[in-house]
Chain A
Amino acid sequence: MKKFINDPADVVAQALAGLAAAHPELRVDTEEQYIARADAPRPGKVGLVSGGGSGHEPLHGGFVGPGMLDAACPGEVFTSPVPDQILAATKAVDGGAGVVHIVKNYTGDVMNFQLAAELATDEGISVETVLVDDDVAVEDSTWTAGRRGTGATLLVEKIAGARAEEGGKLGEVAALGREVNAASGSFAYALTAVTTPAAGRPGFDLPADEIEAGVGIHGEPGRRREKLRPAKQLVRSALDAILDAKSFPGPVIVLANGLGGTPLIELYLVYGEVAAYLAERGVPIARQLVGNYVTSLDMAGMSLTLCQATDEMIRLWDAPVRTPGLRWGA
């Protein structure tokens, strides 16, 4: 394993210290392990808190700032934050109007946020939870823990964040977040396994000519293994899976996302194929974003997310945002 680290046990704490040094506009609490807007709590504003395992940067700490999240709590690498940490972040951003927790559907995240929400409620803070479960690779059945939350998390955080910024009430912001999630679908491919600092070696062996299809964002194997094919074919398969799972008459917001180890030249190539195929399928694109946003450490791979967007969602997508990982109009 070759990584720019000092000790596998200190990676998250030391990365937080670096984030604090790089972004004085954020308040980074290295003791309680959360990242908050410097001006939080803002009286009367609904607070947005997200979190999950580290290793998905810029998700979530990189999305803290005006127009998006009020706080993020990063757990250990690929491990959800603990209830105390989520509670501290929640209290730090509660301006009296309540707090929305944005939670990806992974068992650990769900349990820890649920415990934190109970603790916050005991302290008189109103909490609403938005569960993100956009990954169409997983069949939504009683035989699994449900679908995973992946790329759509960014869309939920951006759109609900914009609504909270302009004064939306707690129930309204949470309902909008759920609406964005319900309108979104994602599918991902991995070209390589990841190496977590703790494990020190790749999570699985993958022959040079094979890929994992239907992966999440924690370096685990996907639903199945396939032969590597040209990008054009992979994009079409991924989009077919998404278009089959949900209704997308358009217009859609598209996220072509790198999983951490894929260069932008490949992501732009992929996006070109996405645009061509959606045109062929008659799905108009309203907005698009290409880059490494919801990552899985050093995994070479990509995920595609489509969101069937309303005019209101597009307006809020365009609203100003000023965070380390996403910034426009401000």
Chain B
Amino acid sequence: MDVTLARDWMRSAAALIAADVDRLTRLDSEIGDGDHGVNLNRGFTAVLAALDKTPPETVSEVLVKSGTTLMSRVGGASGPLYGSALRAAGKALPATPEVQPSDLVAALHAGLEAVRKLGGAAPGDKTLIDAYVPALDAFEQAVAGGADLAGAAGAAARAARAGAEATIPLQARKGRASYLGERSIGHQDPGAASTSLIFQALAEVA
């Protein structure tokens, strides 16, 4: 992945989120307060503006700048979670113009670690982790099996989507949906849904 591809990834993520604002909002209305789509859309719009204003020179810089922008513009739980994941992933990358799929495996692990540290959620809690963990596993296995970036990103996107759908029967134990208790069962977690879009965005440009 080079810096252009990294920027395309963020552009693609912004476009997918913008196209799915209503679906994310509807998912959030069912078990939260109905603004997940709007908040992420506001954040990624700001990300694109920030990347255009001072174009980064490395993949690492793209991710760190995107994460910092999300943290300072989104608020709620998604701002710190998505923001710190991208920042941590960016910081884990070498400061070279191009990075290898194996570097991205390490970066995605660092991003997951940041989310876990901040949110304290585990798989099965009905959070974005339930899309992130299977996506990372699939990405890592594909890279270990010799896949190129496109192949690994495609596997990750499929796993993230399945992971997001698998949150439907779960009872939320973290975040605002947890206050609904058993009533959170039967609805897809909006955070897992948007996380799946971010992996899909990578697959579309890789």
Whether, in the assembled complex, A269 has its beta carbon less than 8 Å from a beta carbon of chain B, the answer is no
Whether, in the assembled complex, A243 has its beta carbon less than 8 Å from a beta carbon of chain B, the answer is no
CB pair A75–B75 under 8 Å, yes or no, is yes
**Contact flags (1/0) for B52-70 with A, using CB distance below 8 Å?**
0000000000000000000
**Contact flags (1/0) for A64-87 with B, using CB distance below 8 Å?**
000000000001111111111000
CB pair B180–A223 under 8 Å, yes or no, is yes
Whether, in the assembled complex, A37 has its beta carbon less than 8 Å from a beta carbon of chain B, the answer is no
A residues near B173, Cβ cutoff 8 Å:
142-145
Tell me if B's interface is mostly helix, strand, loop or mixed: helix
CB pair B175–A145 under 8 Å, yes or no, is yes
Closest to A204 in B: B29
CB pair A115–B176 under 8 Å, yes or no, is no
Whether, in the assembled complex, A203 has its beta carbon less than 8 Å from a beta carbon of chain B, the answer is yes
The range of chain B's interface size is 35 or more
CB pair A115–B71 under 8 Å, yes or no, is yes
* Partner among A76, A112, A138 whose Cβ is within 8 Å of the Cβ of B179: A138
Q: Chain A CB within 10 Å — which of B34, B72, B177 has the most? A: B34
Whether, in the assembled complex, A47 has its beta carbon less than 8 Å from a beta carbon of chain B, the answer is no
A residues near B39, Cβ cutoff 8 Å:
76, 79
CB distance from A120 to the nearest CB of B (A): 15
How far does the alpha carbon of A53 sit from the alpha carbon of B176 in the complex, in Å?
Answer: 13
Q: Chain A CB within 10 Å — which of B29, B174, B179 has the most? A: B179
Closest to B34 in A: A199
B residues near A84, Cβ cutoff 8 Å:
72
CB pair A79–B31 under 8 Å, yes or no, is no
Whether, in the assembled complex, A39 has its beta carbon less than 8 Å from a beta carbon of chain B, the answer is no
Once A199-B34, A199-B35, A223-B179 are accepted as A-B contacts, the answer to whether A111 and B77 lie under 8 Å apart by CB is: yes
CB pair A78–B179 under 8 Å, yes or no, is no
Whether, in the assembled complex, B101 has its beta carbon less than 8 Å from a beta carbon of chain A, the answer is no
How far does the alpha carbon of A78 sit from the alpha carbon of B39 in the complex, in Å?
Answer: 11
Once A76-B39, A111-B118 are accepted as A-B contacts, the answer to whether A220 and B75 lie under 8 Å apart by CB is: no
Tell me if A's interface is mostly helix, strand, loop or mixed: loop
CB pair B180–A143 under 8 Å, yes or no, is no
B residues near A77, Cβ cutoff 8 Å:
35
Whether, in the assembled complex, A260 has its beta carbon less than 8 Å from a beta carbon of chain B, the answer is no
Once A80-B76, A203-B34 are accepted as A-B contacts, the answer to whether A107 and B181 lie under 8 Å apart by CB is: no
Whether, in the assembled complex, A108 has its beta carbon less than 8 Å from a beta carbon of chain B, the answer is yes
* Partner among B35, B72, B119 whose Cβ is within 8 Å of the Cβ of A107: B119
How far does the alpha carbon of A243 sit from the alpha carbon of B33 in the complex, in Å?
Answer: 29
CB pair B179–A198 under 8 Å, yes or no, is no
B residues near A112, Cβ cutoff 8 Å:
75-76, 79-80
CB pair B77–A108 under 8 Å, yes or no, is yes
A residues near B171, Cβ cutoff 8 Å:
143
CB pair A145–B174 under 8 Å, yes or no, is yes
B residues near A80, Cβ cutoff 8 Å:
75-77
CB pair B75–A219 under 8 Å, yes or no, is no
CB pair B179–A145 under 8 Å, yes or no, is yes
Q: Chain B CB within 10 Å — which of A84, A198, A220 has the most? A: A220
How far does the alpha carbon of A137 sit from the alpha carbon of B178 in the complex, in Å?
Answer: 12
A residues near B175, Cβ cutoff 8 Å:
107, 145
CB pair B71–A220 under 8 Å, yes or no, is no
CB pair B181–A82 under 8 Å, yes or no, is no
Q: Which 10 A-B pairs have the closest CB atoms?
A: A108-B76, A108-B77, A111-B80, A144-B178, A218-B33, A199-B34, A79-B76, A198-B38, A79-B75, A107-B77
Q: Could you tell me which A residues sit within 8 Å of B by CB distance?
A: 9, 53, 75-84, 106-108, 111-112, 115, 137-139, 142-145, 148, 196, 198-199, 203-204, 216, 218-224
Known interface pairs A145-B174, A199-B35, A203-B33; 20 further A-B residue pairs with C-beta atoms within 8 A, sorted by A's residue number: A75-B75, A77-B35, A80-B75, A80-B76, A81-B75, A82-B71, A111-B81, A139-B181, A142-B173, A143-B171, A144-B179, A144-B181, A145-B178, A198-B38, A199-B29, A203-B29, A216-B179, A218-B32, A220-B176, A220-B177
